[in-house]
Chain A
Amino acid sequence: KAGVTQTPRYLIKTRGQQVTLSCSPISGHRSVSWYQQTPGQGLQFLFEYFSETQRNKGNFPGRFSGRQFSNSRSEMNVSTLELGDSALYLCASSTSGRGRTDTQYFGPGTRLTVL
């Protein structure tokens, strides 16, 4: 079974621009979560989507947004980029997001550099 895929793997943007990242979950997984990883803050939860609806949200500004499509693929968007947005953005998928056996599986990440 193919794992979680993320595109692009690397991005370089300048301050003020916006960026869209894409994530394809494991086949059959309906929950997609996004995380930001930086050396200073570690791994932090951004938001989770299930059945095209945002179900959970972390403590990030409104510049960070996402959506999920009917095939469970997800995108996240960051508008008005700031230097501090430079990070590894990780997508994780799970079957339903509920229950004891639900484990999140991560993709390889998108490395975003903001200049």
Chain B
Amino acid sequence: EDQVTQSPEALRLQEGESSSLNCSYTVSGLRGLFWYRQDPGKGPEFLFTLYSAGEEKEKERLKATLTKKESFLHITAPKPEDSATYLCAFNPGNKLTFGGGTRVLVKP
């Protein structure tokens, strides 16, 4: 069965303390691994799409990487405004299957 698992469930960081979020997946045919950011009460905001093992993408303090079995979202020198839930998902035919998310809290 296709599934995606995120860890840790929650992460508390001090401002400037870099860390990584993990998204592991077992899918029969990966057609894209997506990362979204979601603030409380709002819809997910698109961050990255990764398609091939070895691919990397960056945006400000965020960097996403992909291997054959997992993806990482690295947060470098986070700021309080990076506090959010980060969701990963894969796309077996335009119906996104999401992981449970990682709640990130960055304290000043």
- Residues in A whose Cβ lies below 8 Å from that of B42: 108-109
- Residues in A whose Cβ lies below 8 Å from that of B96: 33, 35, 43, 45, 92, 104
Instruction: From known contacts A42-B100, A43-B87, A103-B34, infer whether A48 and B94 are also in contact, taking CB-CB under 8 Å.
Output: yes
Q: Which of A86-105 contact B (CB under 8 A)?
A: 88, 90, 92, 94, 97-98, 100-105
- List 8 A-B pairs, Cβ < 8 Å: A35-B96, A42-B100, A43-B87, A43-B89, A45-B96, A56-B93, A94-B94, A100-B32
> Residues on B close to A: CB < 8 A?
31-32, 34, 36, 41-46, 49, 51, 87, 89, 91, 93-101
Tally of contact residues, A, Cβ under 8 A: 29
Whether B32 pairs with A106 at a CB distance below 8 angstroms is no
> Nearest CB to that of A45 among chain B residues?
B95
In the assembly, what is the distance between CA of A63 and CA of B99, in Å? Answer: 25
> Residues on A close to B: CB < 8 A?
4, 31, 33, 35, 42-45, 48, 55-56, 58, 88, 90, 92, 94, 97-98, 100-109, 111
- Residues in A whose Cβ lies below 8 Å from that of B93: 56
Q: What DSSP secondary structure best describes chain A's contact surface?
A: strand
> Nearest CB to that of B93 among chain A residues?
A56
In the assembly, what is the distance between CA of A104 and CA of B31, in Å? Answer: 13
Whether A100 pairs with B94 at a CB distance below 8 angstroms is no
In the assembly, what is the distance between CA of A32 and CA of B61, in Å? Answer: 31
- Would you list the 4 A-B pairs with minimal beta carbon distance, nearest first? A106-B43, A97-B94, A43-B98, A45-B95
Whether A90 pairs with B44 at a CB distance below 8 angstroms is yes
In the assembly, what is the distance between CA of A44 and CA of B99, in Å? Answer: 10
- Residues in A whose Cβ lies below 8 Å from that of B97: 45
With most chain B CB atoms within 10 A of its CB, the pick from A31, A43, A105 is: A43
From the candidates B89, B94, B95, B99, name the one contacting A102 in the complex (CB within 8 A): B94
Min CB distance, B10 to chain A, in Å? 13
